[in-house]
Structure 1
Amino acid sequence: MEDIRAVFNGPYAHKEGPDHRWVEYEDRIPYPRPGTCPSRTYDPHIKTTKDFPDEVISFIRLHPLMYHSVHPMTGRPIFTRINTEFRLTRIVVDRVAAEDGQYAVMFLGTDMGSVLKVVSITQENWSTEQIILEELQVFKSPSPILNMEISSKQQQLFVGGSDGLVQVSLHRCHIYGQGCAECCLARDPYCAWDGIQCSRYVPASKRRARRQDIKHGDPSSHCWDTEDVFGRNVEEKVLYGVESNSSFLECVSKSQQALIRWFVLKPGMDHRQEIKPDERVLITERGLLIRWLQRSDAGSYFCTSQEHSFTRNLLHLSLHVLDPGQLNGHQPAIRDSSENPSVTEPRQRYKDYLRMLSGPAHSLDEYCETVWHKEKKQKQKGKWKHVQELRKSRNRRHH
């Protein structure tokens, strides 16, 4: 509060020069000082702002800003995020007691209808670490969040906007996985490992089998399942792709702080190599996109998650690349379209399907709806043609 008072008692900002730069105002300041509340201390005749002289009103219109800024105690912003598609609109803060101290958990509302759950951790050397615990889309349509309130008693966050009111839980510990290591790496002050699952942390004098490390996120000194989580129980998948078509290898980490890296082990190789993105291969937030497959892309793909000094395998995927001729060999013979207009070439249909998968989710629904309408129209056309032939045969019998 002392810093805020010092700024408002300091110089005003003033636009000057042809480019209207903000500079420090050094001329005379009118009386009573603009920005102060009316008081008999200044002048017994000034009881409300309506009694301010015209000189003060004009000064306020031309000088709405103070020249100096109020900086955080750390000397830098607590949370920054660049190259985003949204702007922050609202903020509420909850003080949460954890095993290793108290933390300020910030809930930041955006103009796109999403809420960012952020915690700022100050280390021993006074450096700060910003961690995004969750990013929730609370409104279906991207409408701005206008108001937010925290109910500590109910452990709920109420979010208001033009579309309505949404109730969100302050903690969703179950999303951090099924192991102690994953729960510890999440670094959520609300959550701790209780020996069975990742659940809400409640401070108590009696120490239970709780595992939590918000400041460092080090599961090796708190958990006994690090070997099981990091080395085994890896999800395995098999994926088939067609040469010259696109293919998407999905892999999403539960932790917002994890760095995802992809490795490939191709037939004949003795060790796996890290995949580097290029014009043909893209690494996205949700997985690996190969724009057009080649026969040499076949092999074993490994999706790994890296946090601090811990690296674990999230996915082991075997990719098989098929030759387009193999698809035609397994398909039944294609009849002439005039014989049955509803028959569509399977190869072209499969290519369209893969192309839709590489696009937005709704494009696949649009594609299916288009095919359905086309087939329905062809069936109606064939039915009308059959009715016309019946009428012609009936007319011939009559004559």
Structure 2
Amino acid sequence: MAPPVRALLLGLVLPCALAWSSPLSTPRVSLSYTELLQTHTARPFAFAFNTSDYRILLLDQDQDRLYLGARDYLVALDLHNVNREPLIGECFNYVRLVEPLNRTHLYVCGTGACQPVCALVHRGWRSQEYLFRMVPRSLEPGKGRCPYDPRQSSLATLVNGTLYAGLHVDFMGTDAALFRTMGPRPAVRTEQHDSRWLYDPVFLRAHVVPDSSERSDDKLYFFFREKALEGAVGPGVLARVGRVCLNDDGGQRALVNKWTTFLKARLVCSVVGEDGVETFFDELRDVFLLPTQDEKNPRVYGLFSTLGSVFRGSAVCVYPLSAIRSVFNGPFAHKEGHSYQWVPYTGRVPYPRPGACPGGAFTPGLGSTREFPDELVMFVRSHPLMYDPVYPAPRRPLLVRTGLPYGFTTLAVDLAQAADGRYEVVFLGTDRGTVQKVVVLPKDPGVLEELTLEEVEVFKTQVPVKTLWISSKRHQLYVSSDVGLAQLSLHRCGAYGPACADCCLARDPHCAWDGRRCTRYSPAPARRVRRQDIKHGDPLRQCRGFNAQAEQELEEQVQFGVEGGSVFLECRPPSPRAQVRWLLQLEGGTWRPLPRERVLLQTPQGILLGPVAPSDGGRYQCVGTENSYTRPLRRLLLHVLPHGLLGGPPPPTCQSQWGPPRPGAGQRGQNGTQIGAEALGTSLGGPGRRRDRAGPSRRPPPRN
């Protein structure tokens, strides 16, 4: 009964969820693959020979190298230019792990044709050294470090010579575990075949975060999704965050060589409708940790999607690690009663508190987890789940997209310094091979304003983006997919337009007006012109002098039309957010809005007028309004040529072509002919086709 109930609930709350989609989610700038290359801000990389499954495995900003894994190849690329001659390593089949072991060596693992294998790779002291080779006799089995199946998701991180890995350890993919291997401490893992610990998980990311000033309290936080245990009527998969202590040595009598500090909690990313019904995004797709000034409290960005077939949606939620830590300090989940419902545990909790690290701030008298009381170890074994879920701050998503023909696959976040502060810029990869750049700004108390700055096609074909890595030091974004890798600049300021107002209205923290063009923002002396307004996007305040100059440089263009025909007046707004209006100059020089009945068709590129008469000649102006700022976009001088110049009889009037009009059906046009919405067959923005009301159209007789 769970799937039908789930589908029904999603259907009921769909209108509420759709209300959360931002009207500004349409990208300000959209570039095709060809247009992106023409900006000279992107470099694609792919082998000339047949291979696939490119994925970025390590970005080393100290040695200016990017380590890329592909099927049968491990490659070291130059961070400045990925098209420079690469260094190619030996085959590991599908490479899934590349971690720095020390200054000169990498620890690398691959699936090895269903026989996982690991080895050391010598990379030299400096990037200038042309050195990249496997160390002889360093090959060793990779079980518990690398998956058998390249299609299975896994995580791995090497910390002070100790490897932490989450993966399926057997060939059949039935035994999933979080492992610790290598290093001076004993190897430990999660409890085997116990769904209370892990229930068919998909591992995503892992990060080490200090929990206090005591290094003994350092913990590994890892993120995954798994089948749900909570409730019979609920989502099939839940998002999780788990943690273990780095100095966990396992138990003495129970949980021997098993984690004794393992805990997990649910991550909630949801939208609450006006009726109070909550729509959940339960499938965790990717996680990004953004450091803050407090190393104990980074910001956790989670990318989620929906699982139901009723509608498709993606969301990004942000959690301060303090909120996650607070849940781990809360009540434990416990099953009791005849129906074994999950309830908060109200009994006595053992001391020290389950999940605490030995030798830490709360356990100063214990040197190892092997000294933990048996009561504590048994409690951890049966109560690994926390009762309270982790909600984002401020208890709603940062951004939501629903009802779109694509979904997000991965994310990365850049902390950009602007003139009026620091802004978090989110880059989102999609399943159609594009990358979106989004900034979310505080608008009013408790209200966020989402701005999609750009969307670019990164690959020739529509393939899902696999991984995103940012080099803030190099100001570059690296994107991978099955067909290749792309290196992109974090900004394309010139694509916003040639005027100061364009640059200001874009509100891109990476861009500013330097007095001549929109270019990358960088700190400069006060005497240099530098205009930027991320919070408000107000060109009237930021572009004084430049606005009048831009209007003076806007030249009037001449266009011709033929009497009785139609003419297209082109006006392409610099942004899809701009509201466009057309003005007509009257005698005496005053301007008035162009009458709607004169417009046959309105498109994003301009308007179609007709049938035109000599009195339609004159000056036209296209003006755009965005963020309460209005400016001229194009000026035209229209000349209407008499039909007799082309030969033939005079043009038919609307009355002779469509028959006598009905009383009150239209209005008198400027040339005295009857014009109405029905006669034109269209209204402003309509389909733009005339429909004959009096049978076949009357054609003029052929000329001899």
TM-score between the two structures when normalised by the length of structure 2: 0.36
The 1:57–1:21 alpha-carbon spacing in structure 2 relative to 1, beyond 3 Å, is farther
What is the aligned partner in structure 2 of residue 350 from structure 1? none
Distance in 2 (alpha carbons) for counterparts of 1:258 and 1:37: 53
Report the secondary structure of 1:175's partner residue: helix
Q: Which amino acid aligns with 1:91?
A: L
Higher helix proportion, which one? 1
What is the aligned partner in structure 2 of residue 374 from structure 1? none
Cα RMSD (Å) = 4.2
The 1:18–1:171 alpha-carbon spacing in structure 2 relative to 1, beyond 3 Å, is closer
Distance in 2 (alpha carbons) for counterparts of 1:185 and 1:156: 23
The 1:199–1:86 alpha-carbon spacing in structure 2 relative to 1, beyond 3 Å, is same
2:500–2:547 contact (8 Å) kept in structure 1: no
What is the aligned partner in structure 2 of residue 311 from structure 1? 630
What is the aligned partner in structure 2 of residue 64 from structure 1? 236
Report the secondary structure of 1:51's partner residue: coil
Distance in 2 (alpha carbons) for counterparts of 1:84 and 1:53: 35
Alignment identity in percent?
Answer: 39
Distance in 2 (alpha carbons) for counterparts of 1:162 and 1:152: 25
Distance in 1 (alpha carbons) for counterparts of 2:5 and 2:399: 35
What is the aligned partner in structure 2 of residue 272 from structure 1? 592
1:267–1:299 contact (8 Å) kept in structure 2: no
- The answer to whether structure 1 residue 73 and structure 2 residue 428 are counterparts is no
- The answer to whether structure 1 residue 113 and structure 2 residue 433 are counterparts is yes
Distance in 1 (alpha carbons) for counterparts of 2:468 and 2:195: 39
- The answer to whether structure 1 residue 288 and structure 2 residue 606 are counterparts is yes
1:241–1:293 contact (8 Å) kept in structure 2: no
Where do residues 1-399 of structure 1 align in structure 2 (5 Å cutoff)? 15=2, 48=190, 50-52=192-194, 60=228, 64-66=236-238, 69-71=268-270, 72-80=392-400, 84-123=404-443, 125-203=445-523, 207-209=526-528, 210-229=530-549, 231-242=551-562, 247-255=567-575, 257-265=577-585, 270-274=590-594, 276=596, 280-284=600-604, 287-290=605-608, 293-295=611-613, 298-322=617-641, 326-328=645-647
Q: Which amino acid aligns with 1:222?
A: Q
CA apart distance, 1:245: 5.8
The 1:317–1:141 alpha-carbon spacing in structure 2 relative to 1, beyond 3 Å, is farther
CA apart distance, 1:124: 5.1
1:134–1:256 contact (8 Å) kept in structure 2: no
Distance in 2 (alpha carbons) for counterparts of 1:18 and 1:199: 53
What is the aligned partner in structure 2 of residue 4 from structure 1? none
The 1:15–1:134 alpha-carbon spacing in structure 2 relative to 1, beyond 3 Å, is same
Distance in 1 (alpha carbons) for counterparts of 2:468 and 2:504: 28
Distance in 2 (alpha carbons) for counterparts of 1:51 and 1:74: 37
Structure 1: which 5+ residue stretches go unaligned?
A: 1-13, 24-35, 40-45, 330-399
Distance in 2 (alpha carbons) for counterparts of 1:167 and 1:201: 20
Q: Which amino acid aligns with 1:100?
A: D
The 1:171–1:275 alpha-carbon spacing in structure 2 relative to 1, beyond 3 Å, is farther
CA apart distance, 1:225: 1.4
2:562–2:641 contact (8 Å) kept in structure 1: yes
1:145–1:159 contact (8 Å) kept in structure 2: yes
Q: Which amino acid aligns with 2:509?
A: P
| Greater length-normalized contact order (CA 8 Å, ≥ 6 residues apart) | 2
Which stretch shifts more, 294-303 or 274-283? 274-283
Distance in 2 (alpha carbons) for counterparts of 1:101 and 1:196: 23
Distance in 2 (alpha carbons) for counterparts of 1:57 and 1:178: 55
TM-score between the two structures when normalised by the length of structure 1: 0.59
CA apart distance, 1:81: 5.3
CA apart distance, 1:150: 1.8
Report the secondary structure of 2:591's partner residue: coil
Distance in 1 (alpha carbons) for counterparts of 2:448 and 2:195: 47
Distance in 1 (alpha carbons) for counterparts of 2:5 and 2:514: 65
- Residues 94-132 of structure 1 show CA distances to partners (whole Å, capped at 9, x for unaligned) of 110111111111222333333322211113524222222
Report the secondary structure of 2:494's partner residue: helix
Q: Which amino acid aligns with 2:459?
A: F
2:504–2:539 contact (8 Å) kept in structure 1: yes
CA apart distance, 1:298: 4.5
1:263–1:273 contact (8 Å) kept in structure 2: yes
Structure 2: which 5+ residue stretches go unaligned?
A: 11-175, 180-187, 201-226, 239-265, 271-391, 649-704
The 1:214–1:197 alpha-carbon spacing in structure 2 relative to 1, beyond 3 Å, is same
- Residues 11-40 of structure 1 show CA distances to partners (whole Å, capped at 9, x for unaligned) of xxx8277786569xxxxxxxxxxxx9789x
Higher strand proportion, which one? 2
